[in-house]
DNA sequence: CTTTTATTTTAGGCAAAGCTAAAAATTATC
DNA sequence: GATAATTTTTAGCTTTGCCTAAAATAAAAG
């Protein structure tokens, strides 16, 4: 089992995030990792030599199966650590991302396995995103955007998009958390905002909020 | 709050380990960090520019107050992570060192504080070594070597030296753990080995084992 | 189907961090 | 106190990983 630098792992992660198994352009990758195009050209050349990506000059970069395996293992670590930080240490879900970006580079299969167990073999992280299994399998991506339901439906929040800290702040001030259940009261035909009802009252969610909150019928 | 590279932190840690506040020779430092002398000369020059050490060429390197603060904060993280790994994840005390060496470089005051709380504000790590406080204060270094007691004493194991994996294996096979209590039955005048007694029987410990096991009267 | 614009790659630099081999300084020995 | 042995530093090279500026290629516009 080879070991990789943090920079390499960051490129792999970015590639997986941007394109999954599909090719990604130099520019997009540069933007994502926060480097200049020329640095990216070099970096992906190195990754190519390690058989983690296929590079077609001027065309794009694509993860190899080996690269995809690595990407998933990093994502697994990232999401397990986020779960740890929220569930065990009491961090807010808006605070954990930068910390998990450091922790995801810790190298130890054993540690990951034990952490996974310690956390109760979770399938989803504190945002509701699926945690890749040990073997690379992905648990289902949960829920549909709130706007996709019809008035009268009973729903349970199961996932939120990472739409920036202001979004998370808004969730916090509105006291919206994973697991909360609501009734869909109204869906505005004018601006696609939604009225949610709970035992304690009702409130309106803007279209942009709704687009980043996912739920299932309950 | 500035941020340091892992390499820098490793040098600081090594300096603290070898000399504490006292100066350390280039050679000793090189040995400890596993680099050549020439690399060390460069490295300490960099550290000097950051005001973490004072360098007197050909004479030695010494931590500054700032360097000592950093060293203690790294040690604090190291020992807290070791505690986490043993207490929460069930690692053996012989396995945790290399992992903690990775985890100790994670940068976040908040994380350290929360981890500390989560672990129940421990004063000592799984080996019984003191965990530096937030403000740099050091809890007491516990116990005396087993050979320092007199026959008849009731003792409790409170600390073990990190004397390599074979030592830890031996502790494991003899089922010796922190917190265990014994009676000192005999101290050999011939080879300084010691006979310990417990409710379930008695056994002998070699002089070298004793030298690395620390206890208090109980 | 050229020309302009945008993207990507090359070329050349820089800093961190390691190395080896040679020079300089210190310490030990006679 | 002069010489030998050890330690430390300098000098010069390597790799990773980033940068800027210039050249090359691809895409868009006329």
pLDDT digits (tens, 9 = 90+) for A108-129: 999 999 999 999 999 999 999 9
Provide the chain B residues 75-134 that lie in CB contact (below 8 A) with chain A: 85, 88-91, 95, 99, 102-103, 106-108, 110-111, 114-115, 118
Q: Closest residue by Cα to the C1' atom of nucleotide C26?
A: B58
Taking Cα atoms as reference points, which of B77, B70, B94 lies closest to residue B2?
B70
Classify residue B51 as left (phi > 0), alpha (psi -120 to 50) or beta: left
Of B102, B108, B111, the CB nearest to A106: B102
Cβ of residue B40 near strand D, that is under 7 Å? yes
pLDDT of the residue at A1: 56
User: What percent of chain A shows pLDDT beyond 70?
Assistant: 99
pLDDT score of A184 more than 60 = yes
| Alpha helices (H) in B105-150, listed in sequence order | 109-118
Distance CA B14, CA B77 (A): 15
Contact B94, B165 (CB under 8 A): yes
Integer distance in angstroms from CA A36 to C1' C12?
16
Which nucleotide's C1' atom has the smallest distance to the CA of B7? C17
pLDDT of the residue at B195: 96
Residues 25-84 of A with CB within 7 A of strand C: 25-27, 30, 37-38, 40-42, 55, 57-60
Distance CA A76, CA A139 (A): 11
Is residue B45 less than 8 Å (CB to CB) from chain A? no
C-beta contacts of A199-204 below 8 A and 24+ residues apart: A203/A174
Classify residue A199 as left (phi > 0), alpha (psi -120 to 50) or beta: alpha
Cα A67–Cα A69–Cα A71 angle in degrees, nearest 5: 70
Residue in chain A closest to B120 (alpha carbons) equals: A89
Which nucleotide's C1' atom has the smallest distance to the CA of B43? C17
Contact A185, A195 (CB under 8 A): yes
**Subunit contact A99:B89, Cβ cutoff 8 A:** no
A and B: number of Cβ contacts within 8 A: 35
User: What percent of chain A shows pLDDT beyond 90?
Assistant: 95
pLDDT of the residue at B93: 87
Taking Cα atoms as reference points, which of A29, A37, A64 lies closest to residue A50?
A64
Model confidence over B35-86: pLDDT tens digits?
A: 999 999 999 999 999 999 999 999 999 999 999 999 999 999 999 999 999 9
Of A88, A95, A103, the CB nearest to B106: A103
Q: How many CB atoms lie within 10 A of CB B131?
A: 22
Cα B2–Cα B8–Cα B9 angle in degrees, nearest 5: 80
**What phi, psi does A180 have (nearest 5°)?**
-60, 145
Averaged pLDDT of chain A: 95
Cα dihedral across residues B48, B54, B56, B58: positive or negative: negative
Q: At what angle do helices A6-19 and A26-33 cross, to 10 degrees?
A: 120
Q: Which of chain D's bases lie under 7 Å from a protein CB?
A: 7-12, 16-22, 25-26
Q: What's the N-to-C CA distance of chain A in angstroms?
A: 44
pLDDT band at B7 (very low <50, low <70, confident <90, very high): very high
**Subunit contact A111:B90, Cβ cutoff 8 A:** no
Q: How many CB atoms lie within 10 A of CB B139?
A: 13
3-class SS shares of chain A: helix, strand, coil, % to 5: 45, 20, 40
Work out the average pLDDT over B180-200: 94
Q: Identify any residues that bridge with B156 across adjacent strands, giving them in sequence order.
A: B181, B216
Integer distance in angstroms from CA A88 to C1' C22?
57
pLDDT of the residue at B4: 93
pLDDT of the residue at A218: 87
3-class SS shares of chain B: helix, strand, coil, % to 5: 45, 20, 40
pLDDT score of B2 more than 80 = no
**What phi, psi does A12 have (nearest 5°)?**
-60, -45
Distance from CA of A113 to the nearest CA of B (A): 10
Residue in chain A closest to B114 (alpha carbons) equals: A89
Distance of alpha carbon A214 from its chain centroid, rounded? Answer: 13
pLDDT score of A30 more than 60 = yes
Residues on chain A touching B103 (C-beta within 8 angstroms)? 103, 106
Cβ of residue B5 near strand D, that is under 7 Å? no
* H/E element, A173: helix A165-173
Q: State the number of CA atoms in the 13 A half-sphere of B38 facing the CB.
A: 0
Q: Which of chain C's bases lie under 7 Å from a protein CB?
A: 7-12, 16-22, 25-27
Q: Identify any residues that bridge with A55 across adjacent strands, giving them in sequence order.
A: A61
Which domains, from first to last, does chain A contain? Answer: 6-63 (1.10.10.10), 77-141 (1.10.10.10), 144-217 (2.30.30.90)
Cβ of residue B57 near strand D, that is under 7 Å? yes
pLDDT score of B118 more than 70 = yes
Integer distance in angstroms from CA A61 to C1' C6?
19
Averaged pLDDT of chain B: 95
pLDDT of the residue at B3: 86
């Amino acid at each position: 089992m080879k070991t990789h630098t943090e920079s390499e792992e960051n490129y792999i992660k970015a590639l997986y995030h941007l394109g999954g198994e599909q090719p990604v352009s130099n520019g997009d990758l540069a933007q994502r990792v926060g480097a200049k195009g020329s640095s990216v050209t070099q970096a992906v050349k190195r990754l190519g030599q390690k058989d983690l990506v296929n590079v077609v000059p001027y065309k794009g970069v694509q993860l190899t199966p080996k690269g995809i395996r690595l990407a998933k293992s990093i994502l697994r670590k990232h999401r397990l650590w986020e779960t740890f930080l929220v569930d065990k240490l009491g961090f807010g879900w808006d605070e954990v991302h930068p910390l998990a970006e450091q922790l995801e580079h810790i190298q130890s299969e054993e540690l990951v396995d034990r952490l996974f167990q310690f956390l109760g073999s979770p399938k989803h992280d504190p945002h509701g995103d699926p945690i890749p299994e040990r073997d690379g399998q992905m648990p289902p991506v949960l829920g549909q955007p709130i706007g996709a339901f019809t008035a009268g439906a009973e729903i349970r929040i199961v996932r939120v998009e990472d739409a920036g800290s202001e979004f998370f702040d808004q969730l916090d001030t509105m006291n919206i958390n994973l697991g909360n259940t609501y009734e869909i009261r109204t869906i505005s035909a004018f601006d696609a905002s939604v009225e949610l009802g709970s035992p304690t009252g009702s409130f309106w969610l803007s279209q942009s909020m709704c687009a980043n909150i996912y739920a299932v019928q309950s």
